[in-house]
Amino acid sequence: MRETRRPDTVFWVDPAAVRDDHLTLDPEESHHLLHVHRAVAGTPFVAVDGAGSTYECLLASSERGVAVGSVKHRATDLGELPVPITLLVGLPDSGPSETVVSLAVPLGVSAIDFVACSRSGRPPLGDPRLARLTRLAVSALKQSRRSRLPVIRSTPSLEAGVGLLAPGARFVADPEGQPGLRPAEGAMAGSISLAVGPPGGFTPEEVADLKNAGFEPISLGYSRLATETAAITLLAVARNYLK
C-alpha cells in the first residue's frame, strides 16, 4: 500500500538543494522517502537543512527516484537553544566520542571540539573520523527535531580549542571546583563554553590555563565520572538554566 500520511521522520536536505519553493532530496533520502515510507505525489513530509531551516513539504515528483518537494511552510531555528553552547571534550576513545555526539546533539550543543589533551595520548581526530561523527550528528539532529547541525571538530591542544571560543560564560568540570553549577543571575545569556577532561583528567597545567581563560571550575560531585558522562552532565545542567 502507498502512503499519503506524513512519515514520523525528518529528511535531510542540503541547503544548496533548496530553490525558491521547491527542494530536492539526495538519492539516499529520496530512497528512504519513496521506498521505505512509500510516499506518493501529495504525501506530506518534513525536511531540515542543518542551517536553521525546517521545511514542511508535499511530494511534488519522484522521477528517476529523485524526490522533489513543494515547500508549503518554512520555519527557522526550530528545536534550537536560545544561546549557543560549545563543548570542549578531552579526546577519549571512539566509543565515548560517539556517546557524546549521540547525547549532546539532541541536548542542543552548537559545537563539539574533541581536544587532544596531554592525557588523551593520541593525536586529534582526522577527517574520516570527523566525517563519521558528523553523520552521527545528522542522525541525532533529525531524530531530535533540531535544525542547526553542530560543528564537530578536533583541535591539537587545549590552547587551540580555547582560541576558537566566543566570549561568554565558561565552566570546566573539576573535582576541586565549587560543588554544582550555580550561575549568577544573567550569566547564562551569552555564548556558553563547557570543558571536560579526557580519561585521566586535565593536567594541573591545563586546569590553570582554563582558569586563566575564564573557566569557572565546577565539581560534578560525589563520584568519579567518565569523560562522556561528565560532558553530558555538564551540558544538561547548563541548559537547565537557559531562559
Q: In whole angstroms, what is the distance from residue 243 CA to residue 239 CA?
A: 9
Residues recorded for the chain: 243
Q: Does 187 bind a copy of itself (CB under 8 A)?
A: no
Q: Minimum CB separation from a copy of itself for residue 110, in Å? A: 12
Q: Does 185 bind a copy of itself (CB under 8 A)?
A: no
Per-residue b/e over 107-130, b at no fewer than 16 CB within 10 Å?
Answer: bbbbbbbbbbbbebeeebbeeeeb
Q: Minimum CB separation from a copy of itself for residue 57, in Å? A: 19
Q: Which of 180, 190, 205, 208 binds a copy of itself (CB under 8 A)?
A: 180
Q: Does 166 bind a copy of itself (CB under 8 A)?
A: no
Nearest alpha carbon to residue 13 among 152, 149, 132:
149
Q: Does 79 bind a copy of itself (CB under 8 A)?
A: yes
Q: Minimum CB separation from a copy of itself for residue 103, in Å? A: 5
Nearest alpha carbon to residue 111 among 188, 186, 194, 174:
194
Q: In whole angstroms, what is the distance from residue 2 CA to residue 73 CA?
A: 24
Q: What is the dihedral of CA 111, 126, 172, 138, to 10 degrees?
A: 30
Q: Does 124 bind a copy of itself (CB under 8 A)?
A: no
Q: Minimum CB separation from a copy of itself for residue 11, in Å? A: 15
* CB contact at 8 A, 110 and 83: no
In the bound state with a copy of itself, the residue whose beta carbon lies nearer, of 79 and 168, is 79
Q: Minimum CB separation from a copy of itself for residue 145, in Å? A: 5
Q: Which residues bind a copy of itself (CB under 8 A)?
A: 79-81, 99, 103, 106-108, 143-146, 180-181, 221-226, 228-229, 232-233, 236-237, 239-242
